[in-house]
Amino acid sequence: MAGRDTIADDLSWLERDCHGETLPPAAERCLQQAAGSYGDDRAAEKYLHQALALAPQHAAVYIAFYRFHFYRNQISQALPYAELCLGLAARELKLDQDWTQVQREDASFSDFSAFVPRFFLFSLKAYGYLKLRLGELEAGRVAVEKVIQLDPADRVGAAVLLEVLNRQGQEDDD
């Protein structure tokens, strides 16, 4: 599936932007220690769990866990964190917790300077991508199509996932 690095890289701005004033400095230090321990899974996870204890329900912590598992190709372990991010963004935006019910007019999805709507879109894109990687093609397609519906200008780049999915099984003409 194309775009493996792109999905995680797409979330790097989120990790920066969502630290903000609400992330306790001790939790931020734990996230930095986890990043610095990248080669030592045990140590990195210990720091991530410490950050979670210090800042439960904080997007930066969820994103860090997501990326930890994603980069280790632990797709099924990354999925719950994409779901947590999606739920967090939906609550912040006062959207239906069932993302399939969300409509374009429910939030300012076209305002790319607004953090939370962008976070929702990227979280849904990540969720869809993970579903595709897990072989849950229909669930992944529905999520990716919802991102495209909410972001018709494709500013989050979900269309490429749909293109790859649509080309699956077709012979390459080149």
Q: How does pLDDT run across 51-92, given as a tens digit for each residue?
A: 999 999 899 999 999 999 999 999 999 999 999 999 999 999
Residue 143 vs residue 165, higher pLDDT: 143
Q: Model-level pTM?
A: 0.85
What pLDDT shows up at residue 171? Answer: 60
Say how far apart CA 161 and CA 39 lie, in whole Å: 30
Q: How confident is the model at residue 151 (pLDDT cuts 50, 70, 90)?
A: very high
% of the chain beyond a pLDDT of 70: 84
Domains located in the chain, CATH noted: 4-167 (1.25.40.10)
Report yes or no: 48 and 69 within 8 Å, Cβ to Cβ: no
What pLDDT shows up at residue 109? Answer: 93
Q: How confident is the model at residue 112 (pLDDT cuts 50, 70, 90)?
A: confident
Tokens 């595709």 label which residue? 132
Report yes or no: 83 and 57 within 8 Å, Cβ to Cβ: no
What integer best gives the mean pLDDT of the chain? Answer: 87
Q: Which amino acid, 19?
A: H
Helical segments of the chain, H only:
4-10, 12-19, 25-36, 41-54, 59-71, 75-93, 115-133, 137-150, 159-167
Residue 137 has pLDDT above 60, yes or no: yes
Instruction: Specify the long-range contacts of residues 29-33, CB closer than 8 Å, at least 24 apart.
Output: 30/54, 31/60, 31/61, 31/64
Q: CA angle 50-120-124, nearest 5°? A: 95
What pLDDT shows up at residue 23? Answer: 87
| CB atoms near residue 79 (< 10 Å) | 20
Residue 7 has pLDDT above 50, yes or no: no
